Structure 1
Amino acid sequence: MTTDTPQPTPVSRFPVADPADLPDDLADRYADVQERSGFLPNVFAALAWRPAEARAFFAMHDALMDKDTPGLSTGDRELIVVATSAANDCAYCVVAHGAIARIRTRDPHLADLVAVDWRKAPLDPRQHAVLDVAVRLATDPAAVTAEDLDRLRAHGLTEDDVWDVGAITSFFALSNRLAHFAAIPPNPEFHLLGRLPR
C-alpha cells in the first residue's frame, strides 16, 4: 500500500553534516542563527560538510552584508542580492534574501517587486542606478563601464560602496551557482518572514 505523504525535499545533493559533528565555532554560529530565526537556513546545512569553506563563506557574507553606509543600507544590500539572484534564476537566494530584504527595508512588498522586475519596482534614482549596475554585472559583466561606476558615485556612493555593489553581486553569483549545483531548496519559513507587522 502506498501513501500520499510527501517526502521532505533534500537539503542538498551532497552530504549534509550531522550537527553534532560540527566544529565548535560553526556549531555556535548555527545554534545562534537557529535560536534567533527559529530555524536553520538550508544553505547553512548544505555548507556544513566543508567547514573551511563554510567559515570563508560566512566571513565574506558578514563583511559585505552586515553594515549600513551612507550610500548602501543593509536593505539596499539585500535588494542587490534579490535582483541579481532573480537574474541568475536562483530561487533559494531570491526567497531567502527577499525575506531578509522585507525585514531590513521594513517594506513587505518591495523585495517581491524587485524579484519580478526591478526596473518597475518603486525605487528611488539611487537604488535604481545600483540595481542597474549590479544586474548588468550579474548578466553581462563586460558591459559594466567606468561611466557606470561614476554614475553610482554621482548618487552619493563612496568608493567602498561602489566596490560593495560589485563584491555583493560577485559573491552572490557564487552563492547562486552553488545553490543551483547542490539543488538547495529555500526553507518554507522564509516565505512568511517580514510580510506582516510584528
Structure 2
Amino acid sequence: MTQGDPMPFLPSLPDPAHLSDLYARFPDNVQPLMVYTDGLLRGEGELSIGERELIATYVSALNACTFCAGAHRAYAEVFGIDAGLIDALIADPATAPVDDKLRPILAYVAKLNTLPSRLKQADAQAVYDAGWSETALYEAVQVCALFNMMNRIIEGTGINFDYAKTPEGHHATGTTPEEQADSYSRFGEMVAAMAKG
C-alpha cells in the first residue's frame, strides 16, 4: 500500500499508518523480533550490512511492499550501497551493475522469494562458485524469509506510510553507520514506550 491508498485495514490505526503505529497497538512479540532483526541485519556476517539491507530492499521491491522497500533502501544507502545501483537492480536485475560475486545471491533470493519449491542444488552451487560460504547463503535466506514475513505484516494490515512521499524522508537518511548500529533494537524500545502511552 502507499500513502493515499485506502485507510489501513485495522480501524484502530491512524491514516497514514506506520509500522510503529501497528507495533504500539499490538506490542506482543515485538521485542524478540527486533532483537532477531538487529542480529541478522546489524550483527557480524559474511555479507556486509549494506548487502543484507540491499537484499531486504530487493525482496521488498519484488513483493511490491513500498513501506519496507523505502525503509530498507534508506538503510542500504547509509551502509554504502549506491542509490543508482538500487534503482537499477529493482528496474532490471539482469542489467544492473551488481558485483559479479553478489549476483548469484540476488538470483537465489529472487527465486526463493517467488518460487521456493523450484530452488535446485545448482542455484546454491552458483553462490558457492562465486566464493560465498554456506554461512553467507544462510544469511541471505534468513533476510529473504524475514522480509517475506514483514512484507505480509505490512500489506496484510494496510500500513500505508510511504517514505518517498514524506518530506522529511526516513530518519536514517544523512546519518552514519555508527548511528544506525542498533537501529532495530532502538525501534523496538521506542515502540514499547509508545505502547505504554
What's the offset of the Cα at 1:118?
2.5
Residue of structure 2 in register with 1:66 after alignment: 42
Residue of structure 1 in register with 2:70 after alignment: 95
Counterpart CA distance in 2 for 1:46 and 1:117 is 33
Higher RCO, Cα 8 Å, sep 6+? 2
Counterpart CA distance in 2 for 1:8 and 1:177 is 19
Secondary structure, aligned partner of 1:79? helix
| CA root-mean-square deviation | 2.8
Task: Normalising by structure 2, report the TM-score.
Answer: 0.72
| Percent of residue pairs identical | 26
> Which of 113, 116, 119 is the aligned partner of 2:88?
113
> What are the superposed Cα offsets for residues 119-175 of structure 1, whole Å, 9 maximum, x if unpaired?
222101121111100011001111111221222122222222111111110110011
Counterpart CA distance in 2 for 1:103 and 1:121 is 20
Residues 42-191 of structure 1 mapped to structure 2, 5 A cutoff: 42-70=18-46, 72-184=47-159, 185-187=161-163, 188=166, 189-190=169-170
Q: Which runs of 5+ in 2 are unaligned?
A: 175-197
Aligned residues of 2:78 and 2:172 also touching (Cα < 8 A): no
Secondary structure, aligned partner of 1:118? coil
> Taking structure 1 as reference, are residues 106 and 85 closer, same or farther at Cα in structure 2, changes over 3 Å only?
closer
Bigger fraction of residues in helix:
1
> What are the superposed Cα offsets for residues 104-123 of structure 1, whole Å, 9 maximum, x if unpaired?
12523222222222322210
Q: Which runs of 4+ in 1 moved over 6 A?
A: 7-11
Aligned residues of 1:11 and 1:42 also touching (Cα < 8 A): no
Residues 24-43 of structure 1 mapped to structure 2, 5 A cutoff: 42-43=18-19
Secondary structure, aligned partner of 1:190? coil
Q: Which moved more, 1:90-99 or 1:43-52?
A: 43-52
Computing the radius of gyration from Cα coordinates, the structure with the larger value is 1
Q: Which runs of 5+ in 1 are unaligned?
A: 1-6, 18-40
Task: Normalising by structure 1, report the TM-score.
Answer: 0.72
